[in-house]
Structure 1
């Protein structure tokens, strides 16, 4: 993978980690928080996406409509599956399994379904990144209830949705040649339209959420689309089978920020996992 592409994905990983840290400061209703930053992201991205259309860099056709619609549905499925898992199992187990299985499934399906070919060194690097992530997050089978199986199942289901939307988005921007900004702007717009009727059922809570979470909403609204548009752009010049694990290095960045900001423990283990991830990144870069 070209070093410039690696830098692009690592910048996306940093932005992803920062908006996840910001979301930890959220105090209001989770669904309304997601709805608010999705709509704010759409307000920021849709005018830029329209500018691409006006200048002729993106045609308004059935591919853009279908691609964005399917992507919006897959991203909502991911969000709902993740939240359902958090409601039914430990967050640590669900999150760890999801972020570990997502890139592995993406690599597998990219090779089997999209016909991507990876060198042995690149494949080793991708697997090292996944292994490093698992070291950072720790033992998946630890559980205060002694029942990690539900978390593993929900995490696996969430990982499958991650792989699905990643593969579809990669196909849309590479095979249908959709401009990443316009494509993701359409996805955000449709996500907002789908979530709005649900949010209106809780409209009495909206003012409180906007007051309590204004800063996190704005941070996520800017950094979340920025991170994913950078990933979509990187997909134009590198195999998605390598992009998927590389973007998950955000977990390592987030883990170190959590140690610093929230005084979380296991710093030595996280450093060891971070070193493994760096070795994997170096292998992918060769």
Structure 2
């Protein structure tokens, strides 16, 4: 099978796995830093039999691998912490679509400026459609101002959401380009590289959770099964994308991975009875049209 076909399968598989672990969170209510600590611990343990040999194989050819893996860990941790803070201070319906739209857009720009990719007009058009469709889907969950909420307060909350959404999108682009460069330019084996990054992430999250061990134990008791599922599905989803970076340009893979948003949108409507099915369907059609252009490009 040509590389493009394998890349498409990896992107599709990654999108399904990404949507699955997000739906686990939605169905169980498992969220917060303590659940993330448990999930990352599961990921480190589950991937160790594959990650350690892969790291030992590729590390000698990448002398600066500890710093590179640490950089990845810092970016992923910063992304999570900033996203959670944005959700606390602003509306998910503002932060989420801006983050998921800005991330692939900046990733494409970064691929052009930093990785010397030269996507053609078809790919650029496809990326633009994906970004637009994601924003349409994301705004389907935007809340209306609460009764009695002052206009100034609502406006300030919206501006806060815009700032956090853009900042989170920038972090998505940052770790996308960092990780893509590690597995392409530096030829770091994806499994070993991401396992090392996960170890770094676990050190940070474990240190944060250690300040409130009772909450960590409570999270393990209430959401242990969900954390285990997330800990398996989340790295599988991202590893599929890391492998795809070796077969297709970042300017194609980064926006195409947002197909997971379409799956989550339809599941939110069909399973969880979330509102605005027409807007979700319209946004999904736009994303799929963009994905078709990316494949054609």
Normalised by the length of structure 1, the TM-score is 0.94
Q: 1:86-142: per-residue Cα shift (whole Å, max 9, x none)?
A: 111011111111001011111112112221110111111111111111222236986
Residue of structure 2 equivalent to 1:163: 173
CA RMSD of aligned residues (A): 1.9
Gaps of 5+ in 1: none
Residue of structure 1 equivalent to 2:247: 237
| Cα pair 2:82 2:164 within 8 Å, conserved | yes
| Cα pair 2:194 2:239 within 8 Å, conserved | yes
User: Residue 60 and residue 201 in structure 1: after superposition, are their counterparts in 2 closer, same or farther (change >3 A)?
Assistant: farther
| Cα pair 1:37 1:221 within 8 Å, conserved | yes
Task: Please give the alpha-carbon distance, in whole angstroms, between the structure 2 residues aligned to 1:51 and 1:24.
Answer: 35
Residue of structure 2 equivalent to 1:51: 53
Task: Please give the alpha-carbon distance, in whole angstroms, between the structure 2 residues aligned to 1:219 and 1:229.
Answer: 16
Question: How far does residue 249 in structure 1 lie from its aligned partner after superposition?
Answer: 1.6
* SS of the residue 1:2 aligns to: helix
Q: 1:225-270: per-residue Cα shift (whole Å, max 9, x none)?
A: 0000000000011111121111112111101111122111211221
| Cα pair 1:27 1:212 within 8 Å, conserved | no
| Cα pair 1:127 1:280 within 8 Å, conserved | yes
2:195 to 185, 191, 194: 185
Task: Please give the alpha-carbon distance, in whole angstroms, between the structure 2 residues aligned to 1:211 and 1:132.
Answer: 38
Structure 1 range deviating more: 120-129 or 161-170? 120-129
- 5 Å-filtered alignment, 1:177-256, equals 177-256=187-266
Task: Please give the alpha-carbon distance, in whole angstroms, between the structure 2 residues aligned to 1:209 and 1:195.
Answer: 14
User: Residue 130 and residue 188 in structure 1: after superposition, are their counterparts in 2 closer, same or farther (change >3 A)?
Assistant: same
* SS of the residue 1:8 aligns to: helix
Residue of structure 2 equivalent to 1:150: 160
Residue of structure 2 equivalent to 1:113: 114
Residue of structure 1 equivalent to 2:270: 260
Task: Please give the alpha-carbon distance, in whole angstroms, between the structure 1 residues aligned to 2:266 and 2:112.
Answer: 32
Structure 1 range deviating more: 181-190 or 125-134? 125-134
Question: How far does residue 162 in structure 1 lie from its aligned partner after superposition?
Answer: 0.5
| Cα pair 1:101 1:156 within 8 Å, conserved | yes
| Cα pair 1:100 1:133 within 8 Å, conserved | yes
* SS of the residue 1:262 aligns to: coil
Task: Please give the alpha-carbon distance, in whole angstroms, between the structure 2 residues aligned to 1:29 and 1:122.
Answer: 35
Task: Please give the alpha-carbon distance, in whole angstroms, between the structure 1 residues aligned to 2:264 and 2:15.
Answer: 9
Q: 1:185-204: per-residue Cα shift (whole Å, max 9, x none)?
A: 00001111122122111111
Matched, 1:12 2:7: no
Question: How far does residue 26 in structure 1 lie from its aligned partner after superposition?
Answer: 4.3
| Cα pair 1:53 1:60 within 8 Å, conserved | no
Structure 1 range deviating more: 190-199 or 34-43? 190-199
Question: How far does residue 46 in structure 1 lie from its aligned partner after superposition?
Answer: 2.2
User: Residue 135 and residue 251 in structure 1: after superposition, are their counterparts in 2 closer, same or farther (change >3 A)?
Assistant: same
Task: Please give the alpha-carbon distance, in whole angstroms, between the structure 1 residues aligned to 2:209 and 2:285.
Answer: 42
Residue of structure 2 equivalent to 1:127: 128
* SS of the residue 2:117 aligns to: coil
Residue of structure 2 equivalent to 1:96: 97
- 5 Å-filtered alignment, 1:265-280, equals 265-280=275-290
User: Residue 167 and residue 29 in structure 1: after superposition, are their counterparts in 2 closer, same or farther (change >3 A)?
Assistant: closer
Give the number of equivalent residue pairs: 285
Question: How far does residue 59 in structure 1 lie from its aligned partner after superposition?
Answer: 3.5
Structure 1 range deviating more: 5-14 or 28-37? 28-37
